[in-house]
Amino acid sequence: MKKLLKQPLLIEIILLSIIIALIHWEANIYHFYYLVPNLDILMHFLGGLLIGLIVLSLLFVRKLFGFAHTHHRVVIITTLTGVLFIGLGWELFEVFFDLTAITRIDMLDTLLDLVMDLIGGGVALWWYYIMVWNRVE
């Protein structure tokens, strides 16, 4: 249990989750998604960052329990793939629950959303490299 409490990125994950929840809550109450241009883009970036940190954290926990060393390339591919799958799942959720329409403009918006998710995941990798890889290896 002590190992889990010392898990890298846990504080970042909790704080980022709170920040995203507060922004999303305020944006829904005050219709900021419609009033503030590109707020959706910021939220996708933050969401990609959060998912990337979670995936990296899970990979680190896996290593704590004695699984084989994970090569950096595997960590990068796993993280970005996880972010992409969650992002695609979110976009399908929006279509399924009629939160967006399927038009040419919305397809471009969806592509931009996925790119922002991946950029957020890339920033998570960068943060992980600075905070963990250099200290653990």
Q: Is 124 exposed, middle or buried (0-12, 13-18, 19+ CB in 10 A)?
A: buried
pLDDT value for 27: 95
Q: DSSP of 26-89, one letter per residue? A: HHHHTTHHHHSTTHHHHHHHHHHHHHHHHHHHHHHHHHHTTPPPPPHHHHHHHHHHHHHHHHHH
- Whether residue 19 contacts residue 46, with contact meaning beta carbons closer than 8 Å, is answered with yes
pLDDT value for 10: 87
Q: Which tokens go with 129?
A: 């490299």
pLDDT tens for each residue of the chain, 137 residues long: 565 556 678 889 999 999 999 999 999 999 999 999 899 999 999 999 999 999 998 887 776 666 556 778 888 999 999 999 999 999 988 888 877 666 666 788 889 999 999 999 999 999 988 887 766 55
pLDDT value for 111: 94
Q: Is 10 exposed, middle or buried (0-12, 13-18, 19+ CB in 10 A)?
A: middle
pLDDT value for 102: 66
Task: Give the structural domain span for 110.
Answer: 2-136
The total of structural domains in the chain comes to 1
pLDDT value for 84: 98
